[in-house]
Copies of this chain bind each other. A is one copy, B any other.
Amino acid sequence: MQYILKIDCPDQKGLVHNISGILFSFGLNIIENEEFVDHVNDHFFMRSEVVGKLNRAEVFNKLCSILPENAQIQLHEKKKKNIIVFATKEYHCIGDLLVRHHFGELKANIQAVISNHDYLKDFCEKFDLPFYHVSADGMDRKEHEQKVLGIVNQYNPEFLVLAKYMRILTPDFTNNFKNRIINIHHSFLPAFIGAKPYAQAFSRGVKLIGATAHFVNDNLDEGPIIIQDVIHTNHKNDASMMARSGRDVEKIVLSNALKLIFDDRVFVFNNKTIIFE
């Protein structure tokens, strides 16, 4: 059996020695191990992949006994995550995810797709996925989110993936899923926060367009950044051509971010990510 151990806690001398000692004492074999110390905040991060047979509670308790009190410890079997995908009308991100999912590449089970439009219904159903069209017509934001939440709660997903979901989520909603909602924003944040980033980019005459995968928190487009990438552009491209060529960056950035998250390689600390690639 293969397990992932993630620890973060205030730094102190001997942590690596003590933690690896416990793993060793249980006869576990470390096949991948990475640590990082944030020297600005004196905080320690460690991720181990171990192979062996273990009693989860026993190892956990032993780790607790040697770690600082406020240490964050995660220890679980390596396995696919359950997720729900949100989309609106754009097909490129969700199309990419559904193809990967269909062929077993995505390290996740897509339990359902939720959309505020029905445009992608036929497409999603080709892949035998439950598709929920939750129109926002005639509803206030709170009401709509309650309906969406009702569906989400049926599934108990570990992560929500906003694959170009073009609605702002309120803190009431996002607070239910701290560091568990991933969004793809179509600019290299913090440039061009908010609506119509390609129109903003065209208007400013930038020579790069980009995409940012980030966790969603209370403030629009201000959550911890996971991955960013850009492509070059030039005067020949108007806003809609930028949008078109930006799609490929968006979908690859989102997919790469998910790969890291589903592999338990991402820590969030102080609104930033620490990633053991």
**Out of B17, B92, B273, which one reaches A21, CB within 8 Å?**
B17
Nearest-Cβ distance from residue A137 to partner chain B, whole angstroms: 24
**Out of B20, B33, B91, B244, which one reaches A99, CB within 8 Å?**
B91
- Does A72 sit at the interface, judged by CB under 8 A? no
User: When each residue 38-70 of chain A gets 1 if its CB lies under 8 Å from chain B and 0 otherwise, what string results?
Assistant: 111000000000000000000000000000000
In the bound complex, residues from chain B placing their C-beta under 8 Å from that of A29 are: 13
Nearest-Cβ distance from residue A47 to partner chain B, whole angstroms: 12
Q: Which residue of B lies closest to A29 (CB)?
A: B13
Quick one: copies of this chain in the complex? 4
Residues A206 and B225 in contact, CB atoms below 8 Å apart: yes
In the bound complex, residues from chain B placing their C-beta under 8 Å from that of A127 are: 126
Residues B33 and A16 in contact, CB atoms below 8 Å apart: yes
| Bound Cα distance A172, B242 (Å) | 36
| Bound Cα distance A130, B49 (Å) | 45
User: When each residue 5-38 of chain A gets 1 if its CB lies under 8 Å from chain B and 0 otherwise, what string results?
Assistant: 0000000011011001101100001111111111
- Does A118 sit at the interface, judged by CB under 8 A? no
In the bound complex, residues from chain B placing their C-beta under 8 Å from that of A20 are: 14, 16-17, 20
| Bound Cα distance A204, B39 (Å) | 17
Residues B235 and A207 in contact, CB atoms below 8 Å apart: no
**Out of B92, B205, B229, which one reaches A225, CB within 8 Å?**
B205
- Does A230 sit at the interface, judged by CB under 8 A? yes
**Out of B190, B227, B238, B273, which one reaches A235, CB within 8 Å?**
B273
| Bound Cα distance A273, B235 (Å) | 7
In the bound complex, residues from chain B placing their C-beta under 8 Å from that of A204 are: 189-190, 225
**Out of B40, B205, B248, which one reaches A271, CB within 8 Å?**
B205
Q: List 19 A-B contacts (CB under 8 A).
A: A13-B29, A17-B17, A32-B37, A33-B35, A40-B238, A91-B99, A91-B103, A92-B99, A95-B99, A95-B102, A96-B96, A99-B99, A105-B244, A188-B230, A205-B271, A208-B229, A235-B273, A248-B252, A252-B252
Give the 6 A-B CB pairs with smallest separation, nearest first: A205-B272, A95-B99, A17-B20, A191-B191, A235-B274, A207-B228
